Structure 1
Amino acid sequence: MRLMLVAGSSHGHFTQLLARYLGTEPLQATRNKYANGETRFELLESVSGGDVYLVQTSADPVNDSLMELLLMAQTCRYASAQRITAVMPCFPYARQDKMKGWQQPISAKLVANLLQAAGVHQVLTMHLHAPQLQGFFDIPCENLSSQLLLVAWIQQYVPDWRQAVIVAPDNGAVKLATSISEQLSIPLALLHKQRNFSNEIEHMLLVGDVAHKVSIVVDDMVDTGNTLCFAAQHLLEAGATKIYGCVTHGVFTGQSLEKLLQAPYELFACTNSLPLPERVQRERRIHIIDVTSIFARHIQKKNSPNFMIKMQRAPTSELFDVDDLESSKNAQGEKSVQTRPHGTRRVSSK
């Protein structure tokens, strides 16, 4: 099947980098709004019989991005695409994955149902807030990991990382933190949050020893920044000498950037799974890790006519490693970290 990319309006730069890795160009399409605010989408090229990848992330405004993706999927289904994959670097409504009361919805499940109803055959995303979200789908939902590149960033930018401690700022980050600490063969610490009746962080309990050591805080995302800032302050009070932070998704709502810059982080890293504000891109203490190579490699494998044969014969590590792809040039001057063969790293910045 011919590989085809269709770009949504949420993250054009991500789609450009992905297209460059894949050696193709996004199909021409019309994206705008009608006078009454309804979303309009129209393909200007044929997708008949194609292996179509719709690229749309959970960017603000989230509801508009989601609605546009649903229209993109239905358009491709009506246009006789053979396979439709939704490439969603950051999955929308991922934190609304359970009922906290009988009067609340499970919004992530509804999003999964809508994608299937629109005609999506499979979903390709990264670092779901809760891995059990994959069970919401009756179609394949592949949850890629940014861990390889986060580890590469730690090894390149954290001095004396071999004597550092990986810190999970809450219970939800324990699995990622444990995996990274095992890969680096360094200790793990955990911060347990205690909230008041207003759902505000009231106290943090540290489990583990960070005194006189470098602390590396890892999480799936930064949104308001409250958890990461509380964590950094608590680690400083517990005797940490230096503090670094890295996350997959940089949501950066409200005053989160200002909070992080005031917090005692030496450096902070996030990926380009979401479009980042210019003020984040300009900040020298924040590094942006390019993860498009991970998506590109996965798409290449899925699109290959010999993929199923290789999958039966080769271990997973051989199928989904990150190849030595050419370093991308970021027009906004973003710093990108890529993993190369034999464990060496490369960082490129314009």
Structure 2
Amino acid sequence: MPNIELIEKMLPVAPLKIAAMESCSELGQKVNDYIVSFRQNTINEVTESPIYVNYRSNNYLVDCACPRFGSGEAKGILKETIRGTDLFIMTDVCNYSLTYTVNGHLNHMSPDDHYQDLKRIISAATGKAHRINVIMPFLYESRQHKRSKRESLDCALALQELISMGVSSILTFDAHDPRVQNAIPLYGFDSFNPPYQFMKALFRAVPDFKADKEHLMIVSPDEGAMHRAVYFSNVLGVDMGMFYKRRDYSTIVNGKNPIVAHEFLGDDVTGKDVIIVDDMIASGESMLDVAKQLKERHAARVFVCTTFGLFTEGFDKFDEYHAKGYIDKVITTNLTYLPPVVKEKPYFVTADMSKFLALIVDSLNHDLTIGAVLNPTDKIHALLKKYNQI
């Protein structure tokens, strides 16, 4: 594992603490368990030194909460000291499963609610922690990253607000457009991508999967995901294609121009497995339409790889398309909330990101380079070699 030798030789910036908010508690627990394991295995002979007194622990999680009043208002509480620590606050703004009561009415928490709770915990920690870092796998308002005509710039404003509250760095995954970091050019902003975890999950879930030019093709479902498809195809050495969305710009439905058709640009997909790669599945309609068109073009199997599975319209259409043979597997990460029903879906595969995230946190706590983490090319090549694909 990268950085382990360096970590053994260096002290952390400050004692590590992780505030995994309720929306991110399961992922936070897994990250904590991995870091506990890392540190038990790396520090042996020097643990008697007093400078390592806060280094090795059975738990780095901070007990925190955001209780609400009957009116729906809330406050952030840290139930233990975080003075002088390197604090990492984890939140999942897409966890709609959590609820609260407003004047007797039950509300599901929205991204806005989660973002406000994040600010409450930051406010409770400001002035005490040595450094505050925010881990927000799905970047809040990341789809509203640019202005068209008279529109708000929500993502840029949120980033600037967090920095003004004392946050040193913001860690996210597969930002819809990483250029939004230009809103905070002098502060830390890292967007990580999970292509290695996608390939690892695919090899485990599909034993006869072959990642070569004769058997595989990478497809981008739209022009926005092109850079992901280009990276995948270059690393694997396979062909790629793309769809572009023909929209009706005279109409607005649910805040966007409806898609009239998906047009395909690329080589023949006949008899080849196809990986469709994108950052998220929201309703999934465009992704499913692309999968259907690929099967109509005689593709062998269609695998959907997406960082965030939001499934805002449920799973009925995915069940239908799987039954009809349009999609074979849907691979998504556990970085955002997934309802328990996904475990029952025969086509669903989870790419576990907890170990990857634990390595990022442990490296940053030591102020070590994360260049190898940002560029997973070598790890993908090693994976291909392991499965005799090179």
TM-score relative to the length of structure 2? 0.77
**Distance of 1:286 and 1:98 partners within structure 2:** 33
Secondary structure, counterpart of 2:190 in structure 1: strand
Give 1:29's aligned residue.
64
Secondary structure, counterpart of 2:22 in structure 1: coil
Could you give the per-residue CA deviations for residues 8-56 of structure 1, whole angstroms, max 9, x where no partner exists?
Answer: 1212111111111111331112322112101221111111111000010
- Matched to 1:40, the amino acid is K
The answer on 1:250 being equivalent to 2:309 is yes
Gap change, CA 1:31 and 1:341, over 3 Å in 2 = farther
Give 1:15's aligned residue.
28
**Distance of 1:174 and 1:341 partners within structure 2:** 21
**Distance of 2:286 and 2:343 partners within structure 1:** 22
- Matched to 1:107, the amino acid is D
- Matched to 2:62, the amino acid is L
Once the two structures are TM-superposed, the CA of residue 262 in structure 1 deviates from its matched residue by: 1.9
1:210-289 aligned within 5 A: 210-255=269-314, 257-263=315-321, 264-289=326-351
CA contact (8 A) 1:88 1:123 kept: yes
**Distance of 2:290 and 2:134 partners within structure 1:** 35
Give 1:154's aligned residue.
202
**Distance of 1:287 and 1:235 partners within structure 2:** 21
Give 2:100's aligned residue.
none
**Distance of 1:191 and 1:221 partners within structure 2:** 16
The answer on 1:191 being equivalent to 2:250 is no
**Distance of 1:226 and 1:341 partners within structure 2:** 33
**Distance of 1:68 and 1:261 partners within structure 2:** 35
Gap change, CA 1:130 and 1:341, over 3 Å in 2 = closer
Give 1:332's aligned residue.
none
Percent of aligned pairs sharing the same letter: 23
- Matched to 1:50, the amino acid is T
Secondary structure, counterpart of 1:173 in structure 2: helix
Q: Which moved more, 1:67-76 or 1:257-266?
A: 257-266
Give 2:116's aligned residue.
67
Q: Which moved more, 1:268-277 or 1:4-13?
A: 4-13
Give 2:371's aligned residue.
316
Gap change, CA 1:266 and 1:114, over 3 Å in 2 = same
CA contact (8 A) 2:16 2:60 kept: no
Once the two structures are TM-superposed, the CA of residue 241 in structure 1 deviates from its matched residue by: 2.1
Using CA pairs under 8 Å that are at least 6 residues apart, name the structure with larger relative contact order, 1 or 2: 2
Gap change, CA 1:31 and 1:267, over 3 Å in 2 = same
TM-score relative to the length of structure 1? 0.86
1:112-191 aligned within 5 A: 112-137=159-184, 138-158=186-206, 159-162=209-212, 163-191=215-243
CA contact (8 A) 1:224 1:254 kept: yes
Once the two structures are TM-superposed, the CA of residue 341 in structure 1 deviates from its matched residue by: 10
Once the two structures are TM-superposed, the CA of residue 282 in structure 1 deviates from its matched residue by: 2.4
- Matched to 1:160, the amino acid is K
Once the two structures are TM-superposed, the CA of residue 215 in structure 1 deviates from its matched residue by: 1.4
**Distance of 2:133 and 2:385 partners within structure 1:** 30
RMSD: 2.1
Could you give the per-residue CA deviations for residues 112-133 of structure 1, whole angstroms, max 9, x where no partner exists?
Answer: 1221122211101111011111
Could you give the per-residue CA deviations for residues 86-123 of structure 1, whole angstroms, max 9, x where no partner exists?
Answer: 0111111000011122x210111111122112221110
Secondary structure, counterpart of 2:291 in structure 1: helix
Secondary structure, counterpart of 2:126 in structure 1: helix
Once the two structures are TM-superposed, the CA of residue 233 in structure 1 deviates from its matched residue by: 1.2
Could you give the per-residue CA deviations for residues 145-187 of structure 1, whole angstroms, max 9, x where no partner exists?
Answer: 1111112233444423321111100011111111111111111
- Structure 1 residue aligned with 2:266, among 208, 227, 243? 208
**Distance of 1:206 and 1:180 partners within structure 2:** 18
CA contact (8 A) 1:39 1:67 kept: no
Question: How many pairs align?
Answer: 319
**Distance of 2:288 and 2:134 partners within structure 1:** 33
**Distance of 2:190 and 2:260 partners within structure 1:** 36
Gap change, CA 1:341 and 1:219, over 3 Å in 2 = closer
- Matched to 1:212, the amino acid is G
- Structure 2 residue aligned with 1:95, among 119, 143, 147? 143
**Distance of 1:143 and 1:178 partners within structure 2:** 17
